[in-house]
Structure 1
Amino acid sequence: MAVVRELVRTYQAFSAYSEENIRELGLTAPQFDVICTLGNTSGMMMGQLAEKTLVTKGTLTGIVDRLEQKGLVRREVPPENRRCFIIVLTPEGERVFESVFPSHIHHLKERLGHLTDAETQQITAALKRLRELF
């Protein structure tokens, strides 16, 4: 169980470091995840967006509602299927994406940049192997 404990502690440390920066950027972690997932796309249906983010479909509706209230996303009904809608970034949402995504990547690289290429490859391989066990 030492592996599980270390994995959880590592995730908690990463999450705290990452989320502090995201809050400074004026977003919650789930909002950031949705904006970054939609960035550089023409939009996604809710189901597709839920699959590509770390957010459940039930939670995603509330996140999209709040992002819509902030003017960062909008719902569009595609003409070929009027029973669903696509979530797209607004021009302001695009500006936020273009600002926060590179800023956050830089923030993460401040820590992850201390790893050598060999260490990065070892960690990636070990995490992939661990995921495959489940």
Structure 2
Amino acid sequence: MTDQADLNHAIIEFYEKLSSWEHCVVRDKKLTLPQMHTLEILGIHRAMRMKELASKMGVTTGTLTVLIDRLEERGLVRRTRHQTDRRSIIVELTPSGQTEFEEHDRLHIRLTEDICAGIPQEDRDVLLRCLQSMNRMF
């Protein structure tokens, strides 16, 4: 049986290592980690309302507004009014933002390939199911 403390420590250690890797990657792009996460969410889920994006990121709409202002200044996102709900603002990636997302996503894919290189396929399948279950908890 798995010791809860060992599992806890393994999750924390993996999180810390992944966070360090992320910080190094985004630093080279002169982006903050929250800015890159914004691009990732928009790259994966496409255009969405500010309120929905804030919810996916776990931040307030005020915090998101500052992030979007900076990303818009850099030409990575654009805001438009929702077609049927004039109170809502839609945020989407610009072509430059899409390029940044795709480059970052390729780095993630390479990292995942490197991490999983020595893991048998059946263990990868179990890992995927575990991660999906864990993600549903959030």
TM-score range relative to shorter protein: 0.7 to 0.9
Shift of 1:24: 2.4
Indicate the residue corresponding to 1:68 in structure 2: 72
Corresponding residue number in structure 2 for 1:56: 59
CA distance in 1, matches of 2:106, 2:135: 28
Whole-Å Cα distance in 2 between the matches of residues 106 and 39 of structure 1?
Answer: 18
What's the offset of the Cα at 1:119?
2.3
How many aligned positions are there?
A: 133
- Map Cα deviations across residues 60-110 of structure 1 (whole Å, 9 max, x no partner): 222212111211111111232111201111222122223332233223422
Q: Could you tell me whether the CA contact under 8 Å between 1:50 and 1:56 is conserved in 2?
A: yes
TM-score, structure 1 length as denominator?
Answer: 0.77
1:100 aligns with 2:104: yes
Kindly provide the amino acid, as one letter, of the partner of residue 45 in structure 1: R
Letter paired with 1:21: V
Q: Among 33, 38, 49, which residue is 1:34 paired with?
A: 38
Letter in 1 for 2:23: E
Does the CA contact (< 8 Å) of 1:76 and 1:87 recur in 2? yes
Q: Is the 8 A contact 1:75 1:86 kept in 2?
A: yes
State the one-letter code of the partner of 2:9: R
Q: Which has the larger displacement, 116-125 or 31-40?
A: 116-125
Contact 1:44 1:87 in 2 (8 A): yes
- Give the residue type in structure 1 aligned to 2:59: T
Q: 2:23 aligns with which of 4, 7, 19?
A: 19
Q: TM-score, normalised by structure 2?
A: 0.75
Q: Find out whether 1:120 has 2:124 as its counterpart.
A: yes
Q: CA deviation at 1:21?
A: 2.1
Structure 1: runs of 5+ lacking an equivalent? none
